Structure 1
Amino acid sequence: MRIGLISDTHGLLREEAVAALQGSERIVHAGDIVDPQILEALARIAPVTAVRGNNDQGAWALALPETAVLQAGAISILVIHDLKTLRAGAAAGHQVVVSGHSHQPKVERRAGVLHVNPGSAGPRRFRLPISLGRLDIDGAEVSAALIHLQVG
């Protein structure tokens, strides 16, 4: 199973991001969506699990949870916008934590849990890359990859 990971679009869904997410069986958006039409566009590719970010406001955003859990076969994925708000011990029982907020793409293991921040696929911030990510799940095995988008 392939799960596309995107975050911090801030109202901009790039063609390059849409192309990179093709083939995903699910998509996770880790917040700061800003425009609900982005979720509609992503849902045309695959079912979407999304959480509310600090820049998501309005009635549509209030309907989004602050955290979400996605079960993908044997893999439990916890989604949160700002990793700093994750309660101590909250990652226990999950194999993956997906977060956004920092705009800094990163994959690392912490206490046996795979942590993935796909970075920002929206407007460029400072000199940070425009990126997204993916999870590849095979039974009880999961791996993550970051995808740096080449944008003009």
Structure 2
Amino acid sequence: MIIGVISDTHGVLKQGALAALRGVDHIIHAGDVGSPEVISALRLLAPVTAVRGNIDRGAWAWSLPVEEMVVLDGKTFYVLHDVNDLALEPASTGIQVIVSGHTHQPLIKNAKDVLYFNPGSASQRRRGGPLSIGHIRISAQLVQPEIIHLDS
């Protein structure tokens, strides 16, 4: 199974991001979606799990949860916009993957048998960083994260 991970679109869904998400089995959006049209476009590609970020306002945004837990191919994912708001101990609750955004900086980190994954921003650079999304491949017991730079 391939999970596409995107964050911080801020209402803009670039063609490079759409191309990199084609063919995935599920999409996770880690907040700062920016508009309901972004979610609609992603749903044309695959089922979507999305959370609300700090810029998401209005009636459409209030329908998005602040955090979400989803099981994909036997792995438990916990999705929230800002990892600094994490109020639980992932390993003790059976969570294998934490997906977040907010920083606009891609991150792959393992700590206490938990993968922390931030795909970076798909629409706005910060501190000279690249535009990026991510893929997480799940096969058997393996969870393989990958950052995909949209600039190259």
TM bin, normalised by shorter chain, reads over 0.9
SS of equivalent to 2:4:
strand
Partner residue in 1 for 2:56: 56
Partner residue in 2 for 1:143: 144
Partner residue in 2 for 1:98: 99
Partner residue in 1 for 2:10: 10
CA contact (8 A) 1:74 1:140 kept: no
Q: Which amino acid aligns with 2:89?
A: G
SS of equivalent to 1:65:
coil
CA contact (8 A) 2:30 2:101 kept: yes
Q: How many residues align?
A: 151
Q: Which amino acid aligns with 1:38?
A: V
CA contact (8 A) 1:12 1:123 kept: no
Unpaired runs of 5+ residues, structure 1, are none
Pairing 1:101-120 to 2, within 5 Å after superposition = 101-120=102-121
Distance 1:41 1:79 in 2: 20
Shift of 1:90: 4.3
Deviations along 1:57-89, whole A, 9 cap, x unmatched?
A: 001111100111111122111101000000141
Query: Which shows bigger deviation, 127-136 or 82-91?
Result: 82-91
TM-score, normalised to structure 2's length? Answer: 0.95
Partner residue in 2 for 1:128: 129
Q: Which amino acid aligns with 1:130?
A: L
- Aligned-residue Cα RMSD (Å) equals 1.2
Shift of 1:141: 1.8
Runs of 4+ in structure 1 off by over 2 angstroms are 123-126
Partner residue in 2 for 1:89: 89
TM-score, normalised to structure 1's length? Answer: 0.95
Shift of 1:124: 2.4
CA contact (8 A) 1:74 1:139 kept: no
The reply to whether residue 76 of structure 1 matches residue 82 of structure 2 is no
